[in-house]
Amino acid sequence: MNVEMANLAEALKQILPESQVSINPTVREQHSKDESYHTPCLPDLVVFPETTEQVSEIIKLANTYQVPVVPFGLGSSLEGHVIPYDLGITIDFSLMNKILEVREQDFLVRVQPGVTRSQLNKELKKYGLFFTVDPGADATLGGMAATNASGTTSVRYGVMRDQVRDLETVLADGTIIHTGNLAEKSSSGYHLNGIFVGSEGTLGCFTELTLKVYGIPEHVMAARASFPTVNDAVQAVVSILQAGIPIARVELVDEPSMKQANLYSETDYLEKPTLFLEFHGNEAGLKQDVEFTKELVADLHCELIEFETDNAARNKLWEARHHLAYAYVHGFPGKKLMVTDVCLPISELAGAIRIARKTIDELGLDGGIVGHVGDGNFHVLLMLDTTDPLEVSKADQLNETIVLYALERGGTCTGEHGVGIGKMKYQEKEHGEALRVMEKIKQALDPQNILNPNKIVRIKEEG
């Protein structure tokens, strides 16, 4: 550690208790990576603030020292967002993990950024409420806002950005702002919630989040529908959406992924391309939705549809779906997970999945396809030996094929995982001149480029 860093560490210890400023190699190693295949890199220092004011003081110091700051939740991101390639300070938010307020009547909660989605849902259950966004990991809500995460229920309730009413945010100079308010809608000023959600720590660090929650639906029914082909399954989803059925979840799991799920979750589901479905509503409406869905999927050659009405079986079904990434990780010890993440207009989805499968097979890779197909979003789950350059290169080739196919059809290179380091190379192609606008915003709000530098946009050094 050089003299400047030592001075910075000393200065940080004036802000935080000594135990909350760490240069310990093990702690730094824990903050050097996420759940992706991207190469780790250790931060110089890790700090564990407990208050907004401390975060503000930390960032002021970083600004003075011109040292990068990377916010860190649980490290469950999938594109290297939290890997501090430019070194500096990692701010770990695990001590800021309190649920501050539940405003039952307003369907709002106020939380610190280190609260996880399952922690929040456990608390909300007492009020008959739930938080809808459910990415695969039990991520922190701060991290989920930073990447604009989504999940299985987005088809009905929207993505993370749709749930954010306000972010208390610390800017690059330590200023504390609020990006929104508590009202359901507003036309006052620029919609800062819009750009701060999904900004991956490059515009500010969130210290409090006010989020929208929903009443637990009166009736819920889940189902698994098995199809002879992935294409039939996707067409069934299109039919369901066209029919205006307000489906709450509709997830595709292909044949290899069903096998992996059965192995990991000890289920014995039919190993065919499958839709996992869920319906929310009042009893009568839900019954009618379910009957209509049965008819629609039958027309698309559905071989078997099984309903789970009791809580336990339903939870088991969704656990099997949520744990799929871990099922793959578990099934391929020593390998690392790479996940593609494009999203397309639904009319282009079947074609995109067909090309993905063809390319996986041609390249001789082992990959499963899963997806939030109601949103037009799908993932290829690949297990990689990252020490084998040929395998890595094939995976990159697959990813590129899938991304370019999506971009040529009005889609996006990432539906929910974010840009991080992995999707930087597609930003120019996807956004064109709009990327210049993003760069200008970044430069205007972070002129010294200290906030998670070189993620999303790369600011060229002057001179």
Using the rule CB under 8 A, which residue among 28, 33, 161, 379 binds a copy of itself? 161
In the complex with a copy of itself, the residue whose CB is nearer, 176 or 329, is 176
CB of 143 to a copy of itself, least distance (A): 12
By CB under 8 A, residue 87 contacts a copy of itself: no
By CB under 8 A, residue 105 contacts a copy of itself: yes
> Would you give the distance in Å from CA 230 to the centre of its chain?
24
By CB under 8 A, residue 100 contacts a copy of itself: no
By CB under 8 A, residue 346 contacts a copy of itself: yes
By CB under 8 A, residue 126 contacts a copy of itself: no
- 377-384/336-339 β-pairing: antiparallel
Using the rule CB under 8 A, which residue among 18, 188, 364, 461 binds a copy of itself? 188
In the complex with a copy of itself, the residue whose CB is nearer, 197 or 258, is 197
By CB under 8 A, residue 444 contacts a copy of itself: yes
CB of 266 to a copy of itself, least distance (A): 32
Compute the distance between CA of residue 315 and CA of residue 323 in angstroms, rounded to an integer: 12
By CB under 8 A, residue 11 contacts a copy of itself: no
Which range binds a copy of itself by CB under 8 A, 1-9, 40-48, 323-331, 434-442? 434-442
By CB under 8 A, residue 462 contacts a copy of itself: no
Compute the distance between CA of residue 24 and CA of residue 249 in angstroms, rounded to an integer: 44
CB of 262 to a copy of itself, least distance (A): 29
Which 295-324 residues touch a copy of itself, going by CB under 8 A? none
On the 0-12 / 13-18 / 19+ scale of CB atoms within 10 A, 249 is: buried
Which range binds a copy of itself by CB under 8 A, 12-20, 250-258, 275-283, 303-311? 275-283
Please give, one letter per residue, the 3-state secondary structure of the chain.
CCHHHHHHHHHHHHHCCHHHEECCHHHHHHCCCCCCCCCCCCCCEEECCCCHHHHHHHHHHHHHHCCCEEEECCCCCCCCCCCCCCCCEEEECCCCCCEEEEEHHHCEEEECCCCEHHHHHHHHHCCCEECCCCCCCCCEHHHHHHHCCCCCCHHHHCCHHHHEEEEEEECCCCCEEECCCCCCCCCCCCCHHHHHCCCCCCCCEEEEEEEECEECCCEEEEEEEECCCHHHHHHHHHHHHHCCCCCCEEEEECHHHHHHHHHHHCCCCCCCCEEEEEEEECHHHHHHHHHHHHHHHHHCCCCEEEEECCHHHHHHHHHHHHCHHHHHHHHCCCCEEEECCEECCHHHHHHHHHHHHHHHHHHCCCEEEEEEHHHCEEEEEEEECCCCHHHHHHHHHHHHHHHHHHHCCCCECCCCCCCCCCCHHHHHHHHCCHHHHHHHHHHHHCCCCCECCCCCCCCCCCC
Which 43-82 residues touch a copy of itself, going by CB under 8 A? none
Indicate the residue type of 137.
A
Radius of gyration of the chain (CA): 22
By CB under 8 A, residue 24 contacts a copy of itself: no
Q: What angle do CA 52, 58, 62 make, to 5 degrees?
A: 145
Which range binds a copy of itself by CB under 8 A, 21-29, 37-45, 192-200, 300-308? 192-200
Binding mask 368-397 for a copy of itself (x = CB under 8 A): -------xxx--------------------
On the 0-12 / 13-18 / 19+ scale of CB atoms within 10 A, 282 is: exposed
Which 127-146 residues touch a copy of itself, going by CB under 8 A? none
CB of 27 to a copy of itself, least distance (A): 29
Binding mask 203-242 for a copy of itself (x = CB under 8 A): x----------xx-xx-------------------x--xx
In the complex with a copy of itself, the residue whose CB is nearer, 320 or 419, is 419
By CB under 8 A, residue 12 contacts a copy of itself: no
CB of 315 to a copy of itself, least distance (A): 21
Which range binds a copy of itself by CB under 8 A, 9-17, 62-70, 258-266, 424-432? 424-432
By CB under 8 A, residue 363 contacts a copy of itself: no
Which range binds a copy of itself by CB under 8 A, 68-76, 92-100, 353-361, 417-425? 417-425
Which range binds a copy of itself by CB under 8 A, 266-274, 301-309, 360-368, 433-441? 433-441
In the complex with a copy of itself, the residue whose CB is nearer, 288 or 309, is 288
By CB under 8 A, residue 125 contacts a copy of itself: no
CB of 393 to a copy of itself, least distance (A): 23
CB of 127 to a copy of itself, least distance (A): 11
